[in-house]
Amino acid sequence: MGIKVNNILPYDASLLKVNFSLPELNKNALSLSENSTVTGDYEVAWALKALMLTDLTTLAGDDTASNVRRLCVRASLPFEPQLLEKSVEESLLPDIHCAAVCVYPARVADAYKALKQLDKLNEISIAAVATGFPTGQYSLKSRLEEINYAIESGATEIDIVINRPLALVGDWEGVYNEVVQMRKACGDRAHLKTILAIGELGSMENVYKASMVCMLAGADFIKTSTGKEAVNATLPVGLVMIYAIQEFKRRTQQIVGLKPAGGVRTVRDAIAWMTLIKNTLGMNWLQPELFRFGASGLLDDIERVVREGIAQHA
């Protein structure tokens, strides 16, 4: 039995008509993400929430089986249980872990083996970046083969990169057609997360249009960045993608998740994003099925905040 995934919908150019004021976007993103009340115990709670929404990531050229295993151990057991016993309900302790680990396709089998040994395969997803990450500058045939390889190796989520050259020349139907093929390659074997690489799209209007065509093509998530661009996840870009998600839901009744990636390094960064989500899409979006952080360094700051917060109340 397959997993529940979004449907492919017909291409509809009417959904791409949009115009943004940058000053207005910046102002709205700032006001919607402000949260001055998060201190003390509340900050620890928000930090743990961010942890449970994180795709813990390693995408380095020198990744090996051993460091992927370390990543999986850290995603599964970020804190020693006795640290949290006094501040977290005992029934919740087994659930304090990352949402997923994210690796290259060649390292998926290593992650699968490690999570199986840790008995976490049913709790922590394996995400693989695919389709010629991070540039996407490969043949469609090889990109689709990479999706299949990653899934056969054990991935349950595929983070694809869209074809930015097609987007930059305004061939939105071309972008849509490629993502449809990627959705079909995933089928109901894996969730499809589409990376827009917002830093290379040229305008907020293009971010919105890219979001829309990916959602029409059946994306389960839209994701800001590869983390390799000069500009990665920013709150105004996130707000544009949220506007697209809201309009898409209104027009189609289909629900799509959001994943900021690259640039979310501190608990304060994460709280700003979670506040933005709470004030726009609502609290029900703050669950791993609909919202993720793509991060490698965020867990370091989460650990610091949690340990310091607990120590102050010891």
User: Which residues, other chains included, contact 25 with Cβ-Cβ below 8 Å and sequence gap of 6+?
Assistant: 204, 236, 239, 240
- The answer to whether the beta carbons of residues 95 and 49 sit under 8 Å apart is no
The candidate with the shortest Cα–Cα distance to 50, out of 287, 311, 307, is 287
In angstroms, the CA 222 to CA 53 distance is 15
Respond yes or no: is residue 259 known to be catalytic. yes
The candidate with the shortest Cα–Cα distance to 302, out of 101, 60, 53, is 53
Does the N-terminal peptide bond of residue 134 adopt cis geometry, omega within 30 degrees of 0? yes
Of 223, 228, 249, 278, which is the active-site residue? 223
- The answer to whether the beta carbons of residues 258 and 245 sit under 8 Å apart is yes
Respond yes or no: is residue 141 known to be catalytic. no
Of 113, 249, 259, 278, which is the active-site residue? 259
Active site residues: 223, 259
